[in-house]
Chains A and B, each alone.
Chain A
Amino acid sequence: MTRPKIKYSRILAYVLLIALAYVMIYPLLWMVGAAFKTNDEIFGTISLLPKNPVFGAFKAGWVGTGQYGFSDYLKNTFYMVVPTVFFTVLSSVLVGYGFARFDFPLKRALFAIMLSTMMLPATVIIIPRYIFFKNLGWLDTYLPFIVPAALGCFPFFNFMMVQFFRGLPLEIDESGKLDGCNSFVILKDLLLPLCTSAIFSVIVFQFVWTWNDFMNVLIYISSVAKYPIALGLRMTMDISTEFDWNQIMAMSLIAILPPVIVFFAAQKYFVEGIATTGMKV
């Protein structure tokens, strides 16, 4: 007697999940559609697909201000994001290894400090950091993004790597030691090859976060020549009239593509990484 009831609730679950998926993705689908519509069509209809797809919005939007366009903004974003991601991986691997595999005086205290900085609001230190970077002459460069990454200032990633290293058997290190390897060789040759899923998680998160970062680029990057895409997009929105909707949607679409591509490319490892470290903010 209970069977039909269970089936009924399962159907309800699927209907709910599909409806929700549609609502969740609808804004993005609309954005894709709008990028290929004429401006008149964007206003009038609610259909997602453009009647006669036009590509003019991409061409017109890409030009930007004329002097600097989206090819510059994209290039700049990569100049900012790629080194930041690279140094985040490097520092989080080193710090994670140090905390997970060595015992030294004050280790517990230092680890506790590192964990507590995960809860330190970024807004509290943003002004002194700005002054510090200004005094170093780093304003309007990407160093305020790259240097904190190299110095392990993203405790979340350090912690993730600590957790991951803790999950790897100590026997691996031991066998390396018996072969006469020093600790760095053990890390580089024996442990690192096993860290791919964790490293991919760091890459995805840090890529996406830095790519999407707005407040920091707003503060640190002032010349249009160095604008990353977040600032370029905002400027385009500010200077355009309402007749340029499709251009802005086309450029927004381009702005969200790289994070999406990175996510899908690394998805397999990434989900694994979350499962093993059990963390995501």
Chain B
Amino acid sequence: MKIKKNYSYSGYLYILPWILGFLLLQLVPLVNSFWYSFTNFQLLGKAQFLGLDNYKKIFLSDAVFRQSLKVTFYYVLIAVPLKIAFALVIAIILNQNIKGINLFRTLYYIPSILGGSVAISVLWKYLFMNQGVVNNIIGRFGIGAIDWLGDPRLALGTVSLVTIWQFGSSMLLFLAGLKQIPVSLYEAAKIDGAGRMRTFWSITLPELSPIVLFNLIMQMINAFQDFTSAFIITQGGPLKSTYLYGLMLYDQGFKFFKMGYSSALSWILFAIILFFSSLTFGSSQSWVHYGDAK
């Protein structure tokens, strides 16, 4: 006997909080921010309609925007793939009947609980400063002090390390996915005489590809908006080499209170995120494998 769900309007009652929240705190703000982006809205005073002026200014004459966009792309391009690759490799290693898997899983996951916090950013600043621990350690190996945070070529990499350090959350997802792969697939591969690498490329990776896609999209959305670590560790410097988009949005909106201009910037970021998410989704048809019976 198949039991049917309640067909009842009381369903609306249960989802009412979300409907209100969606309308008041997501949809209306979204429309408003779109409207602001065409105005010179500042915190005080009336907003004046400017047409496309904000956007024109951003694209044609805002050098800071260009710098920030460049830095953000580098950051997303460094941090996201490395984080996911790390998570995947470690999950696969952990999945081979490793003793103490719970301990390893917990140890690798802890940074994900702490990573976005001010405390960790402060810690990072101390670890990588000139007289910091990292330079002390490499000094023991005869390597001279490296200016991790002061050198514009290195600072972004140092900040990205905080993000990559938090690979544990993606790793948990991969581990859950690995458990779902039918053992029969591996047995069949063994009978066919497939080696380790072959098995990885033909079975493990295709079976995990939906999770790779999910991780890629969510991590990308987050990385494009990252704020805390760059704000605390380097304040966007040196020479704006870690001036992530989130920092620019904050400065324009909440430091200079140019809320119209900042809204325009945020819609550009939104468009960029949408573009890359759809690109990833679009490409996924050729590399994501969905199980037939799932």
Contacts and interface: CB of A to CB of B under 8 A. Distances in A.
A256 B225 contact: no
A98 B98 CA distance: 41
B225 A122 contact: yes
Contacts of A278: 173, 176-177
**Contact-size category for B:** 35 or more
Contacts of A171: 3
A174 B25 CA distance: 36
A212 B116 contact: yes
B33 to A, nearest CB: 5
Contact of A20 (B12, B13, B22, B90): B90
Interface in B195-248: 217-218, 221-222, 224-225, 227-228, 231-232, 245-246
B283 interface: no
Interface stretch (A49-57, A60-68, A148-156): A148-156
Interface string A5-28: 000001001101100110011011
Contact of A95 (B17, B227, B249): B17
A225 interface: no
B232 to A, nearest CB: 7
Contact of A99 (B15, B106, B122, B169): B15
A126 to B, nearest CB: 7
B107 A25 contact: yes
Nearest to B116: A212
Interface in A115-142: 117, 119-132
Interface stretch (B58-66, B126-134, B186-194, B284-292): B126-134
Q: What does DSSP make chain B's interface, helix, strand, loop or mixed?
A: helix
B25 A148 contact: yes
A81 interface: no
A218 B235 CA distance: 14
A59 interface: no
A117 B176 CA distance: 25
B277 A123 contact: no
A32 to B, nearest CB: 11
A45 B75 CA distance: 32
Q: What does DSSP make chain A's interface, helix, strand, loop or mixed?
A: helix
Contacts of B28: 128, 132
B74 interface: no
A279 B218 CA distance: 11
Contacts of A38: none
Contacts of A174: 3
A76 interface: no
A281 B102 CA distance: 20
Nearest to B263: A127
Interface stretch (B49-57, B77-85, B151-159, B266-274): B266-274
A104 B25 contact: no
Interface in B60-116: 90, 93-94, 96, 98, 104, 106-108, 110-111, 113-116
A164 to B, nearest CB: 14
A46 B137 contact: yes
B181 interface: no
A219 interface: yes
A245 B269 CA distance: 37
Given A103-B11, A110-B15, A230-B118, A13 B110 contact: no
Given A91-B17, A219-B254, A151 B266 contact: no
Interface of A: 10, 13-14, 16-17, 20-21, 24-25, 27-28, 30-31, 34, 43, 45-46, 91, 94-95, 97-99, 101-104, 107, 110, 113-114, 117, 119-132, 147-148, 150-153, 155, 158, 170-171, 173-174, 183, 208-209, 211-215, 218-219, 229-231, 233-234, 237, 245, 248-249, 251-253, 255-256, 259-260, 263, 267, 271, 274-275, 278-281
Given A114-B18, A123-B269, 7 more contacts: A13-B93, A98-B13, A102-B8, A148-B21, A151-B24, A251-B119, A255-B119
